[in-house]
Amino acid sequence: MIKGRRIRAIAGACALAVALPLSAWGAAEDAIGNWRDADSGGIVSVYSCGGGICVKVVKPGKGREKDDANPNPQLKGRSMAGVVLMNGATKAGADKWKGKLYNSEDGETYTGYVTSVSKDEVKLEGCVAGGLICKSRTWKRVQ
């Protein structure tokens, strides 16, 4: 009887060891794709890059067509289409990635997070003060 329980426990642990990495990969797959901001109508692409994920502007939102707040004179005023907002974000949880996030509204770069809320929703979040103060936007998958 004890031997049977031990075998079931080992089998359960093995199944869990296989399932956890697969569920983490599934969450990454959930975040990959094109996403629309309900407020501005802008579209970003979340894609795999360098062992992590990146976020790039596909279509700038209304009133956000130009990078007017960029402190770099060579980049100020450029079109936001194609601008990478987050590059090489790394895993910070089963459904969360952490990296540096560029905010074109103020030209600053923040600690950023991409969180896969569901297959049809991701949250982009920028934080300061070690994560004490954060601002986020929820994006819906483009069908």
Q: Where are the domains of the chain?
A: 2-141
Side chain identity, residue 127: C
- Stronger pLDDT, 89 or 14, i.e. the higher one: 89
Q: What is the pLDDT of residue 38?
A: 86
CA distance 6 to 72: 63
Share of the chain above pLDDT 70, in %: 80
pTM: 0.77
At the top level of CATH, the class of 2-141 is mainly beta
Radius of gyration (Cα) for the chain, nearest Å?
19
Q: Is 31 helix (H, G, I), strand (E, B) or coil?
A: helix
CA distance 38 to 27: 22
pLDDT in tens, 67-122: 999 999 999 999 999 999 999 999 999 899 999 999 999 999 999 999 999 999 99
Do the Cβ atoms of 60 and 78 come closer than 8 Å?
no
